[in-house]
Amino acid sequence: MSTDPPEQHALSDRLAAVTESTGDVPAAIPAATVLLIRDGVEGVETLMLRRDSKLAFAGGMWVFPGGRVDVEDYPPDRPDDVEAAVLTAAVREAHEESGLEVERDSLVAFSHWTPPAVAIKRYATWFFLAPAPSGAVVIDDGEIRDHFWARPADVIRRRDEGELELAPPTWVSLDVLRRSPDIASALAAAEAADVEYFVTQIARVEGGGAALWHGDAGYDTADPDLPGPRHRLLMLEHGWHYERTV
């Protein structure tokens, strides 16, 4: 893995991009992402990829393999079957970005994320969990510039230390995944749980910003100061913290 840190983007710039609407809200494009996991020496490890810093969407961020659903992903005889298309896209994108051949039947629905309703490129993304297949990771060194395997807790720690950048859905997914001691328990937990849908609201708070989700007292008004239950990711300059009391 490269030791050079990725190009960093100021938190204030990221917040401005998702809090300032300039027109009609664009439709969210269906997409799929795969958390590829394996058993490491000290617990579950997941594959992280770094997007090229010049890309318009999530440039420079560390992500899981994934991307948008293409027209070709829809079954020819079922052109409106989004569920089938998303599964196909997940397998295709995992191969295109990592070189790994993921079995379609191994995908377990993990969560679903829709970004804030602002005039930027928006992807409504299914997150899947899957055991990593055998084989070496091969990146294209174009859209994807680097990769590593790591424990979710270590990825989160490196974000707080300023070594890498994560998007809120990636951070929360890592936070959930780090509670599982091995692949079997991670997959079992995902299979037993109802798929949770996150539709994000972004608000400014002292020292940074907050991503608000369903159940948070400030969710409907995007007012993070309202008293009551919490379901949010605090994105502060000194670190990120997931609060959930609902």
Do 138 and 218 fall into the same domain?
no
188-199 per-position pLDDT tens digit: 999 999 999 999
Confidence grade of residue 11 (pLDDT, cut at 50, 70, 90)? very low
Residue 229 lies in a domain: yes
- Look at residue 31 and tell me whether its pLDDT is greater than 60: yes
Residue 193 lies in a domain: yes
Q: What is the pLDDT of residue 208?
A: 95
200-221 per-position pLDDT tens digit: 999 999 999 999 999 999 999 9
Residue 15 lies in a domain: no
Do 32 and 112 fall into the same domain?
yes
Do 104 and 118 fall into the same domain?
yes
Q: What is the pLDDT of residue 237?
A: 87
- Greater confidence (11 vs 38) lies with 38
Do 125 and 238 fall into the same domain?
no
62 touches 42 (CB < 8 A): no
Q: What is the pLDDT of residue 120?
A: 67
Closest CA to 122 of 51, 29, 199: 29
151-168 per-position pLDDT tens digit: 999 999 999 999 999 999
Which residue range is the domain that position 53 belongs to? Answer: 22-199
- Look at residue 8 and tell me whether its pLDDT is greater than 60: no
Backbone angles phi, psi at 226, to 5 degrees: -65, 135
Do 184 and 215 fall into the same domain?
no
If you write DSSP's letter for every residue of 104-163 in order, what string do you get? GGG-EEEEEEE--SSSS--EEEEEEEEEPPSS-----SSSEEEEEEE-HHHHHHHHHTTS
Residue 14 lies in a domain: no
- Tally the domains of the chain: 2
Q: Which two tokens stand for residue 87?
A: 């599964």
Backbone angles phi, psi at 227, to 5 degrees: -70, 155
Average pLDDT, the chain: 88
Q: What is the pLDDT of residue 72?
A: 96
- Look at residue 1 and tell me whether its pLDDT is greater than 50: no
Residue 12 lies in a domain: no
36-76 per-position pLDDT tens digit: 999 999 999 999 999 987 876 777 899 999 999 999 999 99
Domain containing residue 136: CATH number = 3.90.79.10
- Look at residue 2 and tell me whether its pLDDT is greater than 60: no
Average the pLDDT over 119-132 and give the result: 89
Do 149 and 45 fall into the same domain?
yes
Answer whether 0.85 is exceeded by the pTM.
Answer: yes
Do 81 and 148 fall into the same domain?
yes
Do 83 and 172 fall into the same domain?
yes
Do 54 and 92 fall into the same domain?
yes
Domain final residue pick, 167, 183, 199: 199
Residue 144 lies in a domain: yes
Do 160 and 230 fall into the same domain?
no
Do 191 and 214 fall into the same domain?
no
Do 92 and 140 fall into the same domain?
yes
Residue 7 lies in a domain: no
119 touches 23 (CB < 8 A): yes
Residue 16 lies in a domain: no
